[in-house]
Structure 1
Amino acid sequence: MADSTLVFTLLGLTLAAFVWGRFRYDLVALAALLTAVLLGLVPAEEAFLGFGHPAVITVAAVLVLSRGFERSGLVDLIAEQALKVGDRLLLQLLVLTGTVLVLSGVMNNVGALALMLPVAIRMAREHGSPPSLLLMPLAFGSLLGGLTTLIGTPPNIIISSYRGSLGGDSFGMFSFFPVGSVVALCGLAFIVLLGWRLVPKRAGSASTEAMFDTAHYLVELRVPEKAKAEGWTLHDLREAIDETIPILAVVRGERRHAGHTFHGALHEGDILLVEAGPDEMKLLEDKAGLEVGPEPDDESAQEDSSEEAETFDTEGLHLVEAVVRNDSMMINRTVAQLRLHNQYGLHLVAVARDGGRLNQRLRDIRFRPGDVLLLQGSESELAESLVTLGCLPLAKRDLSLGQPRLLLVSVGIFTVAILAMVLDLLPSSVALAGAALVSLLVGVLPLREGYQAIDGPVIVLLGAMIPVGQALETSGGAALIAEAMLALGSDWPVVVTLAGLFLLSTLLSNVVNNAAAALLMAPIAASLAKGFDASLDPFLMVVAVSASCAFLTPIGHQSNTLVMGPGGYRFGDYWWLGLPLSLVVMAVTIPMVLLVWPL
């Protein structure tokens, strides 16, 4: 069997696995690499050279620098101003989407979205508007902003490195700006003036009460005389009922203890504040002997309890909403498998999916990307636990202005790195890696957070798919695809072929990671340029833009997945705004590319 046939078969299976989603994309990419080695498509001694590729180093460095911006307070300072825009929807869209667009040009676009997402949620809650009207435009804005600079999105870094590997100079920091900025501004104008009207209005999580009707589920259970549960710890109670029912608080006398900090034995008269439905309440009554409400002979207390259940204030219990990221360790795992309570000190109170609360037993839920969780834990440990688990906090977060010294230092370090790149003093990978190192050395970012900032699955995806993408070229597979496209477009102007290249790359980026799309499409673009005897640059620029246009599905890009749960979107909702936005981007991109990068 010819090498090109083997490559097409391998890539077909790899793309099918990406779309299926049963295994995470980094595992699929690594399996594809090892299979390519076994088939002889990639020499064994070159199998892992991709992990040292400049594109991989650059992406890792950008992720570290992005986290440094967050910790120094630079982005929070911007976000604080964004919250002052008032209740006009168009102005909210302009400020939120415009802000994330600018931020995405100088930091990782997923990181920019993660920083502005809580701001958008808060804005929606304060003004009583559906978050769905803000969150999809916000996600798409983060993708558009990444088009403007070399470090804005991985496809730009990959395309730049690929150009350098062919013997030319790599694209510079602002080589993408003339085309990317015009495309981004036109996309922003379309979203703010017209596109938002195409976004379906979903309930989403405009308020905690809307998605997590906590007061409706909160009940008080009393430990009566001679109850089975007397003398048990809360752990014993959960073991006895074989269920992870969230116990938010234990009231003993005049003192209330948060459930996650109470480790003593239950006494007669203790009141447990429990987040439970009818089935869980029956379990607690049958297996632990707990009773609903206060002492049965105290009618006045019963009335007071009824009133309190309706207006219960969870202040002090440290409840937080968080969304499960695409790269979270929680995906496809349950509460028991993760040992949320024992290892992370967290109680799972509720889970919402597709804008609605899941009513199945908490212990049976396997988490998915985009799930919104209501968690309880220690205020001092919540942030670190969420980062470790791969969750993004959504609830009202207090904006921190950081330390002015760190803010100035982080901006200064980044500026020096950019100057080194612009003046061609250092390659982008070396300049940015050096900036990340200095940031860690001077304390802008603790070393531990620096490692946490590096998105492991993306690094593995890039390192594994780079040799596979090269095999597509060396086997002649890219040339075969280019020849087919040349044959179809031989009677048409080159611009038509560029449009076809754009559409093919866009469709690919909506079902696989955008970095993988760029890696696979770059050799095809080079073969097309060679076939037309034209400049390579316009073809590569078209791939760079189109690989970042994952507007059609929630799985095409992490930004889209992150807003799916909080916005209450369904899978098909993305087409309504995504398709016309993709057409607008293509209509602007092709003439701008030909103007700035002539054939």
Structure 2
Amino acid sequence: MTYDQIFLFSLLGLVFAFLVWGRVRYDLVAFAALVVAVIGGVVPAERAFAGFGHEAVIIIALVLIVSRAMVNAGAVEVVARFVLSAGRSLSTHIGIMSVVGAALSAVINNVAALVMLMTLDMEAAEKAKRPVAQSLMPLSFATILGGMITQIGTPPNIVVAQFRDRALGAPFSMFDFSPVGLVCALVGIAFVTTVGWRLIPDTGQRAAVGEGRDTGLFVAEASAKEDSKAIGQSPSALYPLADECDVSILGLVRRGKRLPGFAAGEEIRKNDHLVLEGDPKSIESFIGGADLTPAGADKHGGLTGKSLTLVEAIVPDNARMVGRTALDLKLLYRRGVTLLGVSRQGKRFRDRVRDLAIKPGDVVLLLGPESRVTDAAEWLGVLPLAEKSHTVTQRSKAVFTIAVFALAVTAAVMGYVPLSVGLAGAVTIYALFNIIGGREVYEAVEWPVIILLGSLIPLGLALEESGGTRLIAEAIVAQAGALPAWAILAILMIVTMTLSDFLNNVATALIAAPVGLSVARALEVSPDPFLMGVAVAASCAFLTPIGHKNNTIIMGPGGYRFGDYWRMGLPLEIIIIAIGVPAILFFWPL
């Protein structure tokens, strides 16, 4: 072996060892390895940071931003309302959630899809009084499976598509992954729905959704504007939706006065205000479902208005708010912020929120653009609670957001613009229309993954150019030379899948894709089946909680242990290999 090959194999061996060890951040490990490679002379200094400008890196970052915009606009909420039901059997619930999760993962990042649906799943478990562990892991696996359906669904597909472009002169297109990915996803979902969830041990985690939830409930108001669907209905007609959102309807305000009792049978009129009690996210969800408007929200702008944030803040003794009302302070007029709700140690009150004199110890719920809320909190002398801010879903922009995304994808599929340019155009429009704020654009990007990918791309190129990947391929072919090509493809997928269970799937795809290409060339067959096999295998990390971020996210809420994942994950990985190999060879012949 040459000096470059020895150096790179040794360096990558150390990288893998540190990644499996897990005590050092994976982005730091990758970046340090890049620096060492440059110092060692195996990566030219002028190409050291070329990976950060690689199209795969750009696409992954843009997909994450688009996913955040979809969440902000409530693009998924309409579907989600039909998903949540405590009355369904567990298998039916898992099947519906899995299908929805997989479908979402095909068009947005699969981590974002899980995060959006996880809360719904936990709420359903709480209402059905069953262990949340029975359904969280199937949901996580389903979102991983769904990511394989399109190029943008999961980072390994993006990496492999762009590698093919560099190696063969043309990338995999958006839906080239769909035939194989769809077959694997459907079979995988059928397994987790019927058999897989029965293999999950009882973790005893039966109330995960309630853990960490603030026990203080807010009293807030929402108005019925001219075009609201709530007009003509009674508060009692909205009780089922209120129960679903865990919100209590306390009464009705008309012309500035609260009607007697709960006004349950009173017909809601234009500009009436419903008085609500619940936690901030429940109130926000009910307001959207009932087609109401948060008090004062119409003063914060229309389609091009700023994205709104809900912030909880505690009122200390010396706060400017103490003893004064929102009207006294002219909060909306002076600061552009609405006092949406007040929590007072679980006590209810009949005063309107804006007429309520604030007391020390109250927790107030402020609504407005993020920068204004921050300034207003400082002016009021209140203390925002850490991790207690909530982005207000801009439901009126949901159709617009989906249309922009569909237009971007269509333009890319039709070949009018590269996928990266189409997604960049969508992100630009989202930012211009404040569907996603300037700060959120940067917050949405998972920077450790970007650093990992940008650092490992030059190492992968160096390994390929040094002949290292060809050596690995020759070793695989030599050991399995008597086997047919389909068996060697299966071996490559098994090795890749095993690596992905313990390493980041992006790192696995970066190393395995060049090896797959070299194996195909050694066998003198089409490289596409082997590249597709790498994409499928790198995405399917089901044995451990560290192989895929989705599995890590559910570990705490589900109460899972490290050894719980393989019980359902091992049979699923075997099924994916058994189904994936013939599906790949059918759609991508040798």
TM-score between both structures, scaled by the size of structure 2: 0.71
Per-residue Cα deviation, 1:485-511 (whole angstroms, up to 9, x for no partner)? 001111110111111100111111111
1:111-510 alignment to 2 at 5 Å? 111-204=112-205, 206-207=207-208, 260-262=314-316, 378=384, 382-383=388-389, 402-404=394-396, 406-510=397-501
- Indicate how the Cα distance of structure 1 residues 38 and 207 shifts in structure 2: closer, same or farther if over 3 A, else same: closer
Q: Secondary structure at the match of 1:383?
A: strand
Contact 2:131–2:205, Cα closer than 8 Å, also in 1:
yes
Deviation at 1:124, TM superposition (A): 0.6
Give the superposition deviation at 1:262: 2.7
Question: Structure 1 207/19 Cα, relative in aligned 2: closer, same or farther at 3 Å?
Answer: closer
Residue 383 of structure 1 deviates from its aligned partner by 2.3
- CA gap of 1:185–1:170, structure 2 versus 1, over 3 A, is same
> Counterpart of 1:95 in 2: which secondary structure?
helix
**Secondary structure, aligned partner of 2:502:** coil
* CA distances 1:462-497 after superposition (whole Å, capped 9, x unpaired): 111111111221121111110110011111101111
Closer/same/farther in 2, CA of residues 95 and 314 from structure 1, 3 Å limit? farther
- Answer whether contact 2:132 2:558 (CA < 8 A) is retained: yes
Measure how far apart 1:382 and its partner are.
1.3
Rounded to whole Å, the distance in 2 between the matches of 1:462 and 1:318 is 43
Contact 2:313 2:384 in 1 (8 A): no
Residue matched to 1:540: 531
* Aligned counterparts of 2:212 and 2:412: Cα–Cα separation in 1: 47
Residue 568 (1) aligns with residue 574 (2): no
1:205·1:566 contact (CA, 8 Å) conserved in 2? no
Paired position in structure 1 for 2:582: 591
CA distance in 1 between partners of 2:500 and 2:128 (Å):
35
Identity of aligned pairs, percent? 44
Please report the RMSD computed on the Cα atoms of aligned residues, expressed in angstroms. 2.7
* Post-superposition offset of 1:428: 1.2
TM-aligned CA distance change 1:478 to 1:133, over 3 Å: same
- For 2:26 and 2:347, how far apart are their aligned partners in 1? 39
- Superposition pairs of residues 3-82 of structure 1, within 5 angstroms: 3-82=4-83
1:85 Cα deviation from its structure 2 partner: 5.9
Cα distance, 1:381 vs structure 2: 7.0
- The answer (yes or no) to whether the contact 1:409–1:444 under 8 Å persists in 2 is no
Mapped to 2, the partners of 1:177 and 1:46 lie a distance apart of 34
**Contact residue 85 and residue 91 of structure 1 kept, 8 A:** no
Q: Deviations over 1:198-217 (max 9, x none)?
A: 111112252567799999xx
Query: How big is each residue's C-alpha offset from its partner over 1:143-167, in whole Å with a ceiling of 9 and x where there is no partner?
Result: 0000000100010001000000013
| 1:179 shift after superposition | 0.5
Structure 2 unmatched runs, 5+: 217-311, 320-344, 349-360, 365-376
Q: How many Å apart are 1:91 and its aligned residue?
A: 1.2
Distance 1:208 1:134 in 2: 13
Q: Secondary structure at the match of 1:534?
A: coil
Say which is worse superposed, 154-163 or 406-415, in terms of deviation.
Answer: 406-415
The CA deviation at 1:318 is 7.2
**Aligned AA for 1:483?**
E
Work out whether residues 510 and 557 of structure 1, in 8 Å CA contact, stay in contact via their aligned partners in 2.
Answer: yes
The letter for the 2-side match of 1:69 is: M
Letter in structure 1 aligned against 2:135: L
Taking structure 1 as reference, are residues 212 and 111 closer, same or farther at Cα in structure 2, changes over 3 Å only?
A: closer
Alignment partners' CA distance in 1, 2:539 and 2:387: 36
Distance 2:386 2:72 in 1: 16
Cα-to-partner distance string for 1:490-544 (whole Å, 9 max, x where unaligned):
1110111111100111111111111111001011001101100111100000000
Match of 2:370 in 1: none
Secondary structure of the corresponding residue to residue 555 of structure 1: coil
Q: How far apart are 1:22 and its partner, in Å?
A: 1.4
CA offset digits 1:161-203 (Å, max 9, x no partner):
0000013211111000010001000000010011111111112
Contact 2:85–2:124 (8 Å) recurs in 1: no
Once the two structures are superposed, residues 78-125 of structure 1 have per-residue CA deviations (whole angstroms, 9 ceiling, x without a partner) of: 222211362410111011111111100000000110111111111110
Q: Take 1:210 and 1:457, find their aligned partners in 2: how far apart are those partners?
A: 28
**Structure 1 residues 122 and 39: alpha-carbon distance in aligned structure 2, compared to 1, 3 A threshold:** same
Q: Which residue pairs with 1:234 in the alignment?
A: none
Contact 2:209 2:557 in 1 (8 A): no
Is contact 2:126-2:209 (8 Å) kept?
no
- Structure 1 residue 402, shift from structure 2 partner: 3.1
Shift of residue 75 of structure 1?
1.3
Q: State the alpha-carbon separation in 2 of the partners of residues 380 and 475 from structure 1.
A: 50
Q: 1:115 to 1:591 in 2, by over 3 A?
A: same
Match of residue 223 from structure 2: none
Give 3-state SS (helix, strand or coil) of 2:524's partner. Answer: coil
Offset at residue 424 of structure 1 (A): 1.0
2:395 partner letter: Q
Q: In the superposition, relative to structure 1, how do residues 489 and 72 fare at CA in structure 2: closer, same or farther (>3 Å)?
A: same
Q: 2:203, 2:558 within 8 Å by CA — same for their partners in 1?
A: yes
Structure 1 residues 529, 263: closer, same or farther in 2, change over 3 A?
farther
Question: 2:208, 2:558 within 8 Å by CA — same for their partners in 1?
Answer: no
Residue 517 of structure 1 is matched in structure 2 by: 508
- Maintained 8 Å contact 1:318/1:379: no
Q: Is the 8 A contact 1:555 1:561 kept in 2?
A: yes
Q: Secondary structure at the match of 2:76?
A: helix
Give the total of aligned pairs: 443
- The structure-2 alpha-carbon separation of the partners of 1:8 and 1:448, relative to structure 1 and needing over 3 Å to count, comes to same
Mean alpha-carbon deviation: is it higher for 167-176 or for 202-211? 202-211
Secondary structure of 1:382's aligned partner: strand
Show CA shifts across 1:236-264 (max 9, x none). Answer: xxxxxxxxxxxxxxxxxxxxxx9953355
**Alignment CA distance shift 1:69-1:592 (3 Å):** same
CA-CA distance at 1:2 after TM superposition: 2.0
Whether contact under 8 Å (1:108, 1:152) holds in the other structure is yes
Q: Does structure 1 retain, via aligned residues, the 8 Å contact 2:313–2:385?
A: no
Structure 1 length-normalised TM: 0.70
Considering Cα pairs closer than 8 Å and 6+ residues apart, tell me whether 1 or 2 has the greater RCO: 1
Contact 1:318 1:378 in 2 (8 A): no
Answer whether contact 2:86 2:124 (CA < 8 A) is retained: no
Q: Answer whether contact 2:86 2:128 (CA < 8 A) is retained.
A: no
Distance in 2, matches of 1:107 and 1:317, equals 39
Distance 1:211 1:451 in 2: 27
Quote the offset at 1:317 in angstroms: 7.8
Gaps of 5+ in 1: 216-257, 266-311, 320-343, 346-376, 388-399
CA distance in 2, matches of 1:439, 1:209: 33
CA distance in 1, matches of 2:23, 2:115: 25
Aligned to 2:103: 102
> For 1:433 and 1:51, how far apart are their aligned partners in 2?
16
- Which amino acid counterpart does residue 316 of structure 2 have in structure 1? F
SS of structure 1 residue aligned to 2:153: coil
